[in-house]
Chain A
Amino acid sequence: MFSRAGRNSAGIAVLLAVVCILPFIVRPYQLDFLIFMFINIILVVSYRLIAITGEFSLSHAVIMGVGGYASALLTLHLPISAWISMPLGGVAAALIAYILSFPLFRMKGFYFLIGSFAAAEAIRLCWVQFINPFGGYRGLRQIPVLEIDLGDFLYIDLGAPVPYYFFALIVGLIFLVIMYRIEHSRFGFVFHAVHHKDMLAQSVGVNARRYRTIAFVTGGFFAGIAGAMVAHYITAINPGLFGLKQMLFILVWVLVGGLGSFAGPILGVVVLSIIDESIRGLNELRPAFYGLILIITMLFLPDGLVSLPDKVMQGVNWLRKREDGDAPNRE
C-alpha cells in the first residue's frame, strides 16, 4: 500500500501531466479559458493570504488592476520589456497596497471592508477620470505581448495561446509554491494567530497590524502580477475589468471553494469557472442557474467545496453503518 504522502505526490504528478497535455488536445478558446483560470487561481490564493489574517478586503481586484495598468503603461511609454514591467507591476501593486494599509488597518471588520471598497473605488475612478495616461473608460490598447527573442537562435511569441498557457502554468505553480511556503512559515502561523487569537497574539508581543500589513502587501504583489498577466495577454485593459464584479467573483470563488484550506479557493475557481462556462448556452437563464448552484453549495457545504470528500466519506460511512443496523436515523 502507498502512504498518504506517496498518494499525494502521485496525484500531483498525474495532475501535472494532464495540464501539460491539455493545450494540445483542447480547442483554442478552451485554452484561453484555462489561461484565465490559472491567472484567477493566483488571484484567489493571494486573496486568501490576506483573508487568513481575519480581514476581508474589497480592494483586491483594483490592486490587481494597479499591476495591470502599471505594467501596461511602462511598456507602452518606456522602452521596457514586459519581462521587466510585469514584476514592476507587482511592485507597484504592493506599493499601493502598502500606502492603503495605513488608513485601512486603522479599521477592523465591517469598517475595514467598506474602507477597502472606498479606497478601491477612488483608484478605479482615477483610471476613469484621467484619460491621460489611463485612457478613461476606454482603457489601454495595443499593450505589448511577452516575447522570448534570442535573435536567430530562438524566438517565441508568448502572445500565442499555447506558449502563454505554459507561461501562466509555470508562473502559477511557482507562485502557489511560494504562497504555500509563506502560509506554512512562521509568518503564516502568525497570520492565522492574528485572525483567530488576536488579543492573545498581541499579548505575547505580536504586532497584529504589522502582520496584517505584510499579508496585505504580499497578497497585493501577487495580485498585481496577475493583473499584468491579463494585460499582456489580452493586450487591452480598462477599469471595468477590475471593478466590483470581479471583486465579487473573487469572494465567491474563495468562499464557495472554502477559505479554511489552501486548496479551497483553487477548487472554487476551477469548479465554478467550469460550471459557468458549461452553462453559457443558457444565456439569460445562466445567472439564475449559477446562483442556484451557489446557494446549494453554501447550504450543504458551509465549509466549501473542499469539504466535499469528507462529506461524501461521512455519507458512505453512515450508509455502511445503516446497512449494519447501528446508524441513527438522519431524517
Chain B
Amino acid sequence: MKSNMTRRNFLAGTGGVAAGITALGATPSKVFAGENTVKIGFLAALTGDAAGWGLPGLYGVEIWAEQVNAAGGIEMGGDKYRVEIISYDDEFDAIKATVGAKKLIFEDEVSIVLMLGITPVQAVKDFMTRNKMIVTTLVPTDISADAPYLFALSEVHPFYNVTAVDWIGRNMPNIKTAAIATQNDELGLSSQATYRAAFEVAGIEVIEENLFGFEVTDFAPVVSKLIAANPDVITWDTAYPDYVNLLTEQAYLQGYKGTIVNCTLDQYEHILGKTSKDFMEGFLWQFPDLDDPIMQGGDTHFDNAAAFYKTYSERYPGAWTAVSWEYAASLEMWKTAVGKAGTFDPPTVSDALRGLSPVPHAFGDAEWWGESFFGINSAALGKWPVVQMQNGKAVIVEMGDVRAWMDKHGDVLIKHFKALGVPTSA
C-alpha cells in the first residue's frame, strides 16, 4: 500500500503536534482566578540521572496540594489560601538550578522552595540566603551556619541509616561481618561513613568495601568481590535507585544467601519481579509505604497518610519511592509554621519553624539538630522507621530513635565522617 505521507505532510503534522504540546506546556496547570493563592516552588531534577529523586516527589507534592485545596486550602489570618505548585526542572545541574531559583523567587514569587540537595543546593545556597528564602533539602550535609533559611525538614540522610543496623545488632546476633558497596559521590560517602559507624557500634566488622564510579555499568564484578569476602550482611549504602536494582539483581543471580540492608528500595515491586519473593524476604531498608498501620495517627504527623498513599499508588502505579512523600512532608511542617507565624513571609515563617518544639515530623516528634555536625540546628531529627520486606510488602518493624543514637554515638560518626572527608564543622 502506497503511503500518502509526503515530507511536507509529515512536517506539517509534526509541527502541529509540536505546537500543541508546547502550548500545553505553556499553559498553567492550575488557575485560581479571584482566589487567594500561595505559591510553592519545586526546584529539583525532573529529567536526567537524578530524576528518580525529583519527579516522584513532584507527584507527591501535587497530590498534597490537591488534598489541602480540597480541604479549603491553608488558613492564614482568617483567610483561606489555595496552594499552587510551580516546578522547575534543575536537571541536577548548578547552572539550571541558578536560573530556576531566580525564576521561582523573582517571577513566580513563591513562599518556599523545595529542593533535592547537593549540587543544585550548593549552587543556589548563597543566593537563597541573600533573598531570605526558605529552602528545604533532603540532604542535611547541605546545611551550614551561613545558610539560616536552609532546612532539612523531612529527611536526615544519612543519619537515619543507623536505625536499621541498630535493629540488626539487637535482633540478629549471628551477624558479625558486613560489606559495603556504593557509588563514589557525596551521597555514597556520607552514607558509607554512617554505615561504618553503625556497624562499629553494633559490633559488626566491615570486611569489604567497594566505591564504584559512575562509569560502571556492569555490577557483576562489584557484587562478586563483596560476596567473595563472605559477609553476613551486605549494604548498597545510598546507591542511586537504578544501582540498587542492578546490585540486588546481581546478588540474587550470584546466589547470595545473607541479609541485605539498604537506605532505599524504590519501586520494590519491580525488584521483586526481577528476583524472587523468597530472596527479598527480610530485606531491610528505611522508607515505608505510607499505608503502614504505624503511619496512621499515633505519634506520626502526616495527615491522611493512607489516603495520600492510595491516591499516589492509583495515579502512578509502581512509582512509589523514598521521596514520594518527603517533599510533601516538608510542606506539612511548613504549613504548621505558617499557622504559627500568621504569614507566608519566608523569614517570619523561618523563625516560626525554628520555634517549633517538638518539631512535628512525619515519623513523630523531632527536635532541631545539627550544630555539632554543621554548626547550625536546621535538621529535624527524631524517629525513623526500620522497614522490612515481609511476604512481598514493606512493613515497619520498629520506629528507631535516631536522636538517641546520635546523642550516644555521635563521636563515632564524626570519626568516620572525617576519615572519609565528608564535610562537617565538628
Contacts and interface: CB of A to CB of B under 8 A. Distances in A.
Contacts of B100: 29
A328 to B, nearest CB: 15
B103 A29 contact: yes
A288 B205 CA distance: 47
Given A33-B99, A284-B46, 13 more contacts: A28-B107, A32-B102, A138-B186, A141-B126, A238-B119, A245-B48, A278-B26, A282-B25, A283-B46, A283-B47, A285-B21, A300-B7, A300-B11
B299 interface: no
A292 interface: yes
A164 B83 CA distance: 35
B97 to A, nearest CB: 9
Interface string A146-175: 000000000000000100000000000000
A4 interface: no
A108 to B, nearest CB: 24
B25 A281 contact: yes
Contact of A284 (B22, B51, B213): B51
Contacts of A282: 21, 24-25
Closest 4 pairs (CB-CB, A-B): A281-B25, A29-B103, A29-B102, A282-B25
A286 B46 CA distance: 9
A130 to B, nearest CB: 10
A171 to B, nearest CB: 17
Most chain B C-beta atoms within 10 Å of own C-beta, residue among A128, A235, A283:
A283
Interface in A227-258: 230, 234-238, 240-241, 245
A121 interface: yes
Contact of B21 (A27, A235, A279): A279
Interface string B120-150: 0011011000000000000000000000000
B107 A29 contact: yes
B396 interface: no
A252 to B, nearest CB: 15
Q: Could you tell me the dominant secondary structure of chain A's interface residues? A: helix
A289 B102 CA distance: 25
26 contacts: A27-B106, A29-B100, A29-B103, A29-B107, A32-B99, A36-B95, A136-B186, A138-B118, A138-B186, A138-B423, A234-B94, A235-B126, A236-B122, A236-B123, A236-B125, A237-B94, A240-B94, A240-B119, A278-B26, A279-B21, A279-B25, A280-B89, A282-B25, A283-B89, A284-B55, A286-B89
B370 to A, nearest CB: 17
Contacts of B89: 280, 283, 286
Given A142-B126, A281-B26, A286-B47, A32 B98 contact: yes
Nearest to B99: A32
Interface residues of A, number: 42
Interface in B100-120: 100, 102-103, 106-107, 118-119
Contacts of A188: none
Contacts of B103: 27-29
A299 to B, nearest CB: 9
A286 B119 CA distance: 22
A287 interface: yes
B398 interface: no
B407 interface: no
A137 interface: yes
Interface residues of B, number: 44
A176 to B, nearest CB: 21
Most chain B C-beta atoms within 10 Å of own C-beta, residue among A33, A240, A296, A331:
A240
A286 B94 CA distance: 19
Contacts of A137: 118-119, 185-186
A281 B22 CA distance: 8
Interface string B185-228: 11000000000000000000000000001010000000000000
Interface in B32-74: 46-48, 51, 55, 58
Contacts of B404: none
Given A234-B123, A235-B126, A287 B99 contact: no
Interface string A261-295: 00000000000000000111111111101001100
Interface in A66-95: none
A139 interface: yes
B26 A240 contact: no
B26 A138 contact: no
Contacts of A28: 102-103, 106-107
Nearest to B184: A128
A281 B88 CA distance: 8
B18 A293 contact: yes
A125 interface: yes
Contacts of B119: 137-139, 238, 240
Contacts of A296: 11, 14
